[in-house]
Structure 1
Amino acid sequence: MADVDSMGPIDYLVIEFPGSRMTGEGLPLLVDLVDRGIIRVLDLLFIRKNLDGSVEGVAIADFDQDGTLDLAVFEGASSGLLQKEDLDEAGTALEPGNSAAVLVYENLWAAPLAMALRRGGAQLVAGGRIQVQALLAALDAAEAA
């Protein structure tokens, strides 16, 4: 792991797969982001929310059934940052019977900016993400006004 002073911001995503249907369609794009040095995958885990509400880990698999492990490049990607409690929390966002990928990644593209700001004494004190649906709803409301 890199020195904390040289790291970019860390984000996470919980991506739900209704009916636990994971096709792997987005995987080449994730690999491309890593290959181009835009992000570094710190953790990539899969979970399933059972019908009784319990959450369990799911092994990395051959999603497209071509006989090749689709996520072999990410096998073992675990920084140790995610704990069982984090996976249980991620599971609260899922509908029973669905699965999800839990992805923790470093924004390598932002590392030089973050380092410069830290050298100047600045620190990130808040962050967030605007959901696309919220943005579209706000734009629609502004257009209607």
Structure 2
Amino acid sequence: MTTTPETEAHGPVDFVLLEFPRAGLTGRAGEELIRLVEQGVIRLFDLLIVMKNEDGAVEVLELTDPGGPAEAFAYFDGAQSGLLGEEEIAEATGALMPGTLAALIVFENAWAAPFVAAVRDGGGELVASTRIPAPDVMAALEALDAKRPVA
């Protein structure tokens, strides 16, 4: 089976909501997101930076505001696919704590597209998928390390 434009394989698409305290922003998250996109690990569909004020009011920030809190993401100005609608934005911002800044990001795991194509070529299909939270993985790995004999 050959992949054609009609059956083009895509990697899984994820939505993440990253909340940051306003104090102490380093810009490092923006740098790493740029690296992931430039290396082809992910394909960015949407990026929206919002601020939730102490009174609960939400403000969408301009990515190109020099010296602004969203400045680290200026590289992605215009990243809007339409996958993030008003309903998704309202639900996401409702989860934020007052006095925080957040990045709403929709991205494709582009690294997985060749694997998805290979699965499809073999007649396979995804039956189930879930995300294991990072703290659970870290705890399991720490428990495994604790069981290993000391050399």
- Same fold at TM > 0.5: yes
Matched residues, number:
140
Tell me the distance in 1 between the aligned counterparts of 2:26 and 2:121.
Answer: 43
Distance change (3 Å), C-alpha of 1:62 and 1:128: farther
Which residue in the other structure is 1:110 paired with? Answer: 112
Question: Does the 8 Å contact 1:20/1:97 carry over to 2?
Answer: no
Change in 2 beyond 3 A, CA 1:141/1:109: closer
Give the AA of the match of 1:17: F
Aligned match of 1:35: 38
TM-score by length of 1: 0.77
1:6 alignment partner, SS class:
coil
Taking only the aligned residue pairs, the percentage that are identical comes to: 44
1:14 to 13, 17, 21: 17
- What RMSD over aligned residues (CA atoms) do the two structures have, in Å? 2.8
Distance in 1 of aligned mates of 2:44 and 2:73: 12
Output the CA distance in 1 between the equivalents of 2:31 and 2:127.
33
Indicate how the Cα distance of structure 1 residues 141 and 24 shifts in structure 2: closer, same or farther if over 3 A, else same.
same
Q: Secondary structure at the match of 2:75?
A: helix
TM-score (norm 2): 0.75
What is the deviation of 1:78?
Answer: 0.7
Matches within 5 A, 1:1-145: 5-19=8-22, 22-61=25-64, 65=67, 69-139=71-141, 143=146
Instruction: Between 130-139 and 10-19, report the one with greater CA deviation.
Output: 130-139
Gaps of 5+ in 2: none
Change (3 A) 1:133 1:98: same
Q: 1:19 to 1:28 in 2, by over 3 A?
A: closer
User: How far does the alpha carbon of each residue in 1:37-63 deviate from its partner, in whole angstroms, 9 at most, with x for none?
Assistant: 111111111122233434342221457
What's the offset of the Cα at 1:140? Answer: 5.3
